[in-house]
Amino acid sequence: MPKKRLPPDDPREWLNRARSNLTSARHAIPGVYLEDLCFDAQQAAEKAVKAVFIHRGEPFPYVHDLNELLQVLEDNGLKIPNYVREADQLSRYAVETRYPGLSAPVTPAKYRKALRIAERVVRWAEREIAKP
């Protein structure tokens, strides 16, 4: 069960939601498509990045493109580490893989990579938000 809910303008609530998506992404169980788990990984990274926007007091565009979101943060003066930039690989899981026939099935290797990227982005966001 998630922690007590915080107001939607609190970056910690966005991180809580990111962690919730990450928990879902980690649970590969029979009958669940890897595409759906990758969607949760993408959502975890997206919400974590948006938590950083909120922490910095900056508005964010309502898009699922992680490269675009990270570019806006960088344009506003935040150095984005290369390992966080890898999140752009997750953007395709926001829409393309959620519907039959738009892409090939996700392989176990691609799922594991998506999960690793999302975990790194969430940890980065946690460190950013811990800064004053």
List, as one string, the DSSP characters of 46-92: HHHHHHHHHHTT----S---HHHHHHHHHHTT----HHHHGGGGGGG
**pLDDT for the residue 100:** 83
pTM above 0.75, yes or no: yes
Instruction: Please say if the pLDDT value at position 3 is more than 80.
Output: no
Instruction: Please say if the pLDDT value at position 69 is more than 70.
Output: yes
Instruction: Please say if the pLDDT value at position 75 is more than 60.
Output: yes
Asked whether the beta carbons of 38 and 114 are under 8 A apart, the reply is yes
Q: Where are the domains of the chain?
A: 11-130
Question: Which superfamily does CATH assign the domain made up of 11-130 to?
Answer: Nucleotidyltransferases  domain 2 (1.20.120.330)
Instruction: Please say if the pLDDT value at position 2 is more than 80.
Output: no
pLDDT band for 116, please (50, 70, 90 cuts). very high
Instruction: Please say if the pLDDT value at position 114 is more than 90.
Output: yes
